[in-house]
Structure 1
Amino acid sequence: MLVQSLSAVAFLGLAQLADASGSPSGSTSHRRTAGGGQTMNLVRSAPNSNQWSTQQWGHWAKAQKSSLEAKYGGAGASGTGVKKRATGTNYIINQVGDSSYFGSLAIGTPPISYNVLLDTGSADLWVAGSNCTTDCSGMATFNPSSSSTFHNESSSFSVSYGSGQAAGFLSQDVVQMAGFEVQNQIFGVCEQVSSGLLTEPVSGLLGLAFQSIASSGAPPFWETLVTEGAWDEPVMAFHLTRYLNLSGVQTLEPGGSFSMGFANTSLYTGDIDYVNLAVTGSYWILPITSISVQNQSINAPSGDQAYAAIDTGTTLVGGPSSFIAEIFKQIPGSAPGKDDFKGYYTYPCDTNVTVALSFGGRTWSISPADFRLTRLTKNECVGAFFENAVGGRAPAWIVGDTFLKNVYSVFRYSPASVGFAELSAVALAQNGDANAAVPSATIGSSPSSVSATGSMLPGRHKCAGIKIGRGLLYATTVSLLIMIASVHCVLL
C-alpha cells in the first residue's frame, strides 16, 4: 500500500505524458469483444539517484519508513460456465526509479483522462479537483461542471498524510479504464491538497484492494467490474519493469503493464502459483512461510507475524525488526543504519545479496539489483528491506515493488488469492531497455459498460489507519521530501 523505493527522486521536471490520459473517444455504447484484451503499459520515471548525497538518501529513507507506518496506521467465482465478457490492459507509467507505477483512467461525460497511482494496498479512488488551492498546477484536475453525468454525493472527504492532507467531497460519475466503464462510480474530489502531495503528471490514486477497507465505503472500481461479470476472469495482473540503479534513465520509462480480466501469457512462463489469502476481504494478505538469504534459511515468522500485504503501492519491503535483523545477520559486514537510516541496514556493495520468500507455494527470489536500494559510498550500500513498526492490526509485513518486479503477480477475486509466476523472456527484456518508447495510455474507445449502485457501506463515517497509496513524492531544491499515503479519516 505504500512505500516508495526511490521515491524521492525527481518529481521535479516530470513532463506531462503525452495523451497519458488515454481518454476514450467516440461512442461508449459498444461492448469490447472477448479475447481482444488490451494491456496498460507501465511507465517509470527515474531519478538521477547516483548524484544524491548521503544526507539526501537519509532524508528519503527516513521518510519512507515513517510514511509506511503512517499509512498502515500503527493501530491497531472463477467464471466457469458464465458468459465470457471482456479483458483489457492499461499501459502505465513508472516514476522515479521504480518508486511508483501509475496508469490512466477517464472520468465524466465527455470523458477526460487522469493519471492515477495503481495501489493494491488501498481501496479508494480520488483525484484533485479544479478548485484545488495548493500545488496542483501542471496536472489534470477534475471540473464537475465539465461532466453532464456528474453527481455530488454531498458528503465530505478528507485524507490525512504524514506530511499533509487532501480534502474535498465525495461524488459520483462515469469512470472508464482499459475499455471498461462503471457508470456511477463514487470517488473523492479533493479541493484542498497540501503542498507537494501531488506532482505532475499524477492527479490522484486508484485503490485496488477490497471495499471493506475503503475509506469512502464505496465499492472499488475493479470490484464492481468483477461482481457485475464484466471480466472474462476475476483477476487483475501486474508486470513491473526495473530501471533501478541504472545510469542514463529518462524521467519516464516504460514500466510494464496492468491487465484486467486476464493474465497475459506472453509475460510469464509455467503455471501461476496461487496462494489463498490469509485474511479475506481487506488487503491482499498472504502468509510468509519461508525466508532465505544467500541460500541459507532463517526462522520463518508464524501467526500474525507472518501476515504480508502484497502492495503495488509500496516501493520497498518492510517487516518486523527481529526478522529484518536476522536477514542482515546473514550478510557479512552489514550494520544497522544510523540517524535518518535508523530501521534500515547497510552492507558491503561488493556483496550480491539474494533474498527469497515463499508464501506457502513456490519460493521466489529477489534480484540483488532490487535488494540494493542505493549506494551511499564507494563501499557502502543500503538494503531495500527495513524495520516496519506499524503494529496494531496492520499486517506485520508490507511486500512492495522490490519483490514484485521479480514476478508476474496476479490478484484473484474468487477464490480470493494472489498468484505469482516466473517472468518470461519477453517481460525480462523490458528491464532497463534504453530504446523503448514511452507508451500511450490505452483506455479503449468502446468500453464494456457496467452499471454500479455506488452505494456505501453503512456506518462508515469514520475510519483510521487506512492507507491510501504508494506515496506521492516530490523534491525541493534543498531536500527530498516524500508524501506517502495514510488515510486517517474519510467521511467526517
Structure 2
Amino acid sequence: MFSKAALVTVALAVLASASPVINERGTPIPIVKRGSLTRPNGTFDAEKAIAARFKLQRRHARNLINLERNLGSERFKELYPDADLTKLQNDQDGDLEWTGTISIGTPAQSFTIDFDTGSADLWVGSSGCSTCRRHNTYNPSRSSTSDSQRGTFEIAYQDGTSASGPIYTDTVTVGGATVTGQFFSAVTNEAKQLTEDPEDGLLGLGLTALSSMNKDPFFVTAVKQNAVQEGVFAFKLGQSGSELYIGGTNSRLYEGSIEYHDVTTDKGYWQIGGASALHNGRTFASNLETIIDSGTTLMAAEPSVVDRFYGSIRGSGYDEESGYYTFPCNSVPEVSFNWGGKTWTISGDDFNLGETRSGGCAGALVGADLQMPNNVWLLGDTYVPTLLGSFSCILTPVIF
C-alpha cells in the first residue's frame, strides 16, 4: 500500500487537435470501444441501456463487498455508515468496454482485455475452461514463469451462474511495461454473460482496496517494480484514435496546462472531491465526490438529485420501457463539472443516447442507489471523452 502521507492528485487537460510535443516517456496501447447504447441510425438501444444501468449498480455493489473485506468492518463502517451489505450482490455483467491487447507468461500468451479503472483484478480464461472456446486462454504449463497460488477467484452472477478459477502469478506486459509475479486468475468456467463477449478477460486499473484477491493490481505492481518511467497512465477515449497510455501522458493529445486535484480517499476508487455539477451554466449540485470509472458508460447520482435535474428541463419525461429520463431531442441540456478550476462540459453527442420509441432522447445521467453517501457521483466514459483522463500512482493520483 502507498503511504497515507503521499500526495494523491487528479489532473485535467483539454484534448488537442494538434501535435505540439514529440518527446514522450510512456507507451500508447490502441483501444477500441465494444458496443454503444446508441444504434447506428441514432436511436436509443433500450435493451442494452437497461443492461448497462443494472450493471452500473451491481459492479459497485461488488466493489463495496471487496472494500468491506479488505479494509475491515470497522473502517468500512466509518466510510459507509449507511451501506447495507445484505442488499448487495457480488456480480458483474457484460457491457460496453474499452479493449486492447496485453500478454501473460514466458513465452508471451496474448489476450484482448477490457481496461477498467473501476475494478482492481486481472483475469482471463484458462486452457482448462470448457466454456471459453471463443476466447484466447491461459495455459500455465506453457509458461516457465507461471506459479500457482493459494485460493480461488470468483465472480458471482445474479442468475446463479459464476466465473471462477485458480489464482496464479506470472509475468504480465501491458504497453511495454513488464512486471513479474503479478497476481491474476485463469477462470475455469465462464457464465453466459462472458462467453458472448469478444474480449478474453479484464484488467482492473483501480487501487488495491477494490481487489477481490486483495492483491496489488497491475499498475500498482508496475510502479513498485519501477517498470514504468512515470507512475501515470492516461486514457484518451473517443470515436477514433482512442488509447491507453502507460507510463506517462501523451502530450500530443492535450493542449494548455494540466489541472491537478487531490484524490480524496484511500477507498480504492479514483475519486475526486469538491466538485460542482452544472446545468446550462448554473450549479445544481455542489460539494460532490466524483468517481471516475472507464468500465461504465453512464453517469449516475442519487435518484432524487437526478429527478430534480430532469425536472428542471422543459419537456423532459421518463421512459417506462428503459427506466431512463428523456429530454426534447432538439434541446440537449448542457452538463458540466467544476473542481474549483476550469469548467469541463460534456458534449451533447455524448450526453444524448438517442431517440426513444416513446419520443424524446434518453440522457446519460441516471439515478442509482450505489449504497454510498448521497453526494457521491459516478462519472463513466460519457464524461471522460471530453478530456484526456490520466491517473497517477506516483503517489496515487488521477489526470483527465
Q: What TM-score bracket applies, with the shorter chain setting the length?
A: 0.7 to 0.9
> RMSD across aligned C-alpha pairs, in angstroms?
2.5
Q: Quote the residue 2:148 is aligned against.
A: 152
Q: Quote the residue 1:185 is aligned against.
A: 182
Check conservation: 1:275, 1:361, Cα contact below 8 A. Answer: no
Check conservation: 2:43, 2:354, Cα contact below 8 A. Answer: no
1:122 is aligned, of 110, 113, 119, to 119
**Structure 1 CA distance for aligned equivalents of residues 395 and 130 of structure 2:** 44
Superimposed CA distance per residue, residues 369-411 of structure 1 (whole angstroms, 9 cap, x where no aligned partner): 0000121149421001100112147983211100001100111
Output aligned runs, 1:340-351, within 5 Å: 340-342=321-323, 344-351=324-331
Superimposed CA distance per residue, residues 244-300 of structure 1 (whole angstroms, 9 cap, x where no aligned partner): xxxxxxxxxx45111111111110011111110111251101125211112222132
Superimposed CA distance per residue, residues 319-377 of structure 1 (whole angstroms, 9 cap, x where no aligned partner): 11122122212321111232x422x2011111132100123432110000000012114
What's the offset of the Cα at 1:60?
Answer: 2.5
Q: Does 1:352 align with 2:351?
A: no
> Which stretch shows the higher mean deviation, 397-406 or 162-171?
162-171
Q: Does 1:332 align with 2:332?
A: no
Q: Quote the residue 2:29 is aligned against.
A: 40
Gaps of 5+ in 2: 1-22, 66-94
Superimposed CA distance per residue, residues 114-144 of structure 1 (whole angstroms, 9 cap, x where no aligned partner): 011111111100001112232x222211112
Output aligned runs, 1:262-273, within 5 Å: 262-273=248-259
What's the offset of the Cα at 1:213?
Answer: 1.8
What's the offset of the Cα at 1:35?
Answer: 5.0
3-state SS in 2 of match to 1:202: coil
What's the offset of the Cα at 1:107?
Answer: 0.7
Distance 1:194 1:162, change over 3 A: same
Q: Quote the residue 1:285 is aligned against.
A: 271
**Structure 2 CA distance for aligned equivalents of residues 198 and 153 of structure 1:** 25
Output aligned runs, 1:128-207, within 5 Å: 128-134=125-131, 136-163=132-159, 164-207=161-204
Please report the TM-score for the alignment, with normalisation by the length of structure 2.
0.80
Distance 1:198 1:267, change over 3 A: farther
Aligned length: 346
Distance 1:288 1:99, change over 3 A: farther
**Structure 1 CA distance for aligned equivalents of residues 184 and 374 of structure 2:** 24
For CA contacts below 8 A with separation 6 or more, give which structure has more relative contact order.
Answer: 1
Distance 1:124 1:280, change over 3 A: same
Q: Does 1:109 align with 2:106?
A: yes
The one-letter amino acid paired with 2:244 is F
**Structure 2 CA distance for aligned equivalents of residues 114 and 395 of structure 1:** 38
What's the offset of the Cα at 1:44?
Answer: 3.0
Gaps of 5+ in 1: 1-33, 77-97, 243-253, 421-492
Please report the TM-score for the alignment, with normalisation by the length of structure 1.
0.66
**Structure 2 CA distance for aligned equivalents of residues 195 and 299 of structure 1:** 39
> Which stretch shows the higher mean deviation, 43-52 or 285-294?
43-52
Q: Quote the residue 2:215 is aligned against.
A: 218
The one-letter amino acid paired with 2:39 is S
**Structure 2 CA distance for aligned equivalents of residues 405 and 354 of structure 1:** 15
What's the offset of the Cα at 1:50?
Answer: 4.2
Q: Quote the residue 1:370 is aligned against.
A: 350
The one-letter amino acid paired with 1:372 is N
**Structure 1 CA distance for aligned equivalents of residues 115 and 237 of structure 2:** 12
Check conservation: 1:121, 1:313, Cα contact below 8 A. Answer: yes
What's the offset of the Cα at 1:200?
Answer: 5.0
The one-letter amino acid paired with 1:62 is I
**Structure 2 CA distance for aligned equivalents of residues 321 and 165 of structure 1:** 30
2:52 is aligned, of 64, 86, 90, to 64
3-state SS in 2 of match to 1:405: helix
**Structure 1 CA distance for aligned equivalents of residues 164 and 373 of structure 2:** 26
Distance 1:237 1:381, change over 3 A: same
Higher share in helix: 2
1:309 is aligned, of 275, 283, 291, to 291
Superimposed CA distance per residue, residues 149-194 of structure 1 (whole angstroms, 9 cap, x where no aligned partner): 2111132111123354211110111111111211211101101111
3-state SS in 1 of match to 2:249: coil
Q: Does 1:403 align with 2:380?
A: no
What's the offset of the Cα at 1:228?
Answer: 2.5
Check conservation: 2:27, 2:247, Cα contact below 8 A. Answer: no
Q: Quote the residue 2:70 is aligned against.
A: none
